[in-house]
Amino acid sequence: MWPVVDVTFAMLCIAAWIVGVRPPKWAIFLAIPIGVSAFWSPVPLEGLSTAFRIIVVAFAARSILNGDRSDGVWLSLGFIAGLALQTVGLAMVGWIHNRPAGLSLNAYVLGEAGLAVFMLTAWRHNFPKIAAAGTATIYIVLSGTRSTVIGLLAYAAATRNFKIMLPAAMISALFVVWALTIGGTSARITPEGLKASIDTRLGNINGDEEARLHVQKAFPGRYEYSEPKYKLFGYGWGGYLPQTGLQRPHNVAAMLVWELGLLAFIPFAVIAWAVWRRLITIPVLIGWAVVWMVSDDLASRPEVQYMFAAVILFGILQFRAHKRGGSVGY
């Protein structure tokens, strides 16, 4: 379905272009190294589609920000509604699918969806908070992803807002209760379990023997291992896995270095510029950075890219509203 979503955003961009809106230069600057790297990647479509998505999402966001703020409210309501519709199904799967490392192979994405919903909800005043908070709780708790809970607490602490810290603490407590009882994932929150996970993640980042053994255990005989080597311009976007037989490094910074090489400097510079311009708030960056340390979904999964874009968009709406002395709540 992601091509359908991308095409929808592209149509919004065409409409915005007709009325005189132009894509932001920073989005083009960010997309260029990713798109260019597709020419030496064994899977060129991944780089080209990601570069395309960056431009159209930033373009559509600029159109929303330049227009009536109610456009952004409708988009946020649609985002929450779509996740809420999945909540019942997710809860059902949570009872019948026992996976110690998290709920299904999409555990990280589910946890990140919950984090995004929580961040959006924290910025709203007249939002359907009960439904949104329930959705965020179910996604974060049942996902079983420790990094999402730590990111949630880091984000809440960075806001220094008790009304945000309190529900974050409650969700985290439910996460621990779930892990110790029904969820059956208590081993993942012990010191030994945490150390094992850290060793595995470091192996993935470095592409060492631990990473090879991990892949062979998970996919016996499916992939041929090749020791990864740093290249000046990387393996190309999406090229690390097919050229090494290893999982992607489960770390955004490491993945950018492995797949873009020296060109990775550009995404890092764009993020620093966005923080400086307050397009990304410090609490949001801190919260997501915790997740990015152990998951590269932002750089590889369209749904996570859209979630992060939504969080940034409504952070900008909130910032502008406060500058005008108003509120983004409707």
In this predicted structure, the answer to whether residue 161 has a pLDDT above a threshold of 60 is yes
Tens digits of residue pLDDT in 78-104 = 666 666 666 656 655 555 555 555 555
Q: Is the pLDDT of residue 265 over 90?
A: yes
**Which range of residues forms the domain containing residue 148?**
2-189+262-323
Q: Assign 3-state DSSP to the chain and report helix, strand, coil percentages, each to 5.
A: 75, 0, 25
Q: How much is the pLDDT for 264? A: 92
| 249 assigned to some structural domain | no
Q: What average pLDDT does the structure give for the chain?
A: 78
Identify whether 266 is part of a domain.
yes
- 241, part of any domain: no
Residue reference for tokens 């397009």: 279
Comparing 106-110, 222-226, 228-232, 296-300, which segment has the lowest mean pLDDT?
Answer: 222-226
Give residue 328's pLDDT band: very low, low, confident or very high (50, 70, 90): very low
Which residue is associated with the tokens 């955004």?
Answer: 252
Rank 52-66, 198-212, 273-287 by mean pLDDT and report only the highest.
273-287
Q: Is the pLDDT of residue 138 over 70?
A: yes
Residues 6+ apart with CB under 8 A from 206: none
- Domain contains 127: yes
Assigned domain for 218 exists = no
Backbone angles phi, psi at 124, to 5 degrees: -100, 155
Residue 319 predicted with pLDDT over 70: no
Is the per-residue pLDDT at 258 higher than 70? yes
pLDDT over threshold 90, residue 324: no
The count of structural domains within the chain is 1
Q: Is residue 201 part of a domain?
A: no
What is d(CA 199, CA 210) in angstroms, rounded to the nearest whole number?
8
C-alpha torsion sign, points 216, 149, 109, 184: positive
187 or 36: which leads in pLDDT:
36
How far is the first Cα of the chain from the last one, in angstroms, to the nearest whole number? 31
Q: How confident is the model at residue 108 (pLDDT cuts 50, 70, 90)?
A: confident
Alpha-carbon span 162 to 156, nearest angstrom: 8
pLDDT of residue 127: 55
On whether residue 183 sits in a domain, the answer given is: yes
Q: In the structure encoding, which two tokens stand for residue 126, read together? A: 């007249």
In a domain, 167, yes or no: yes
In the predicted structure, residue 273 carries a pLDDT above the cut 70: yes
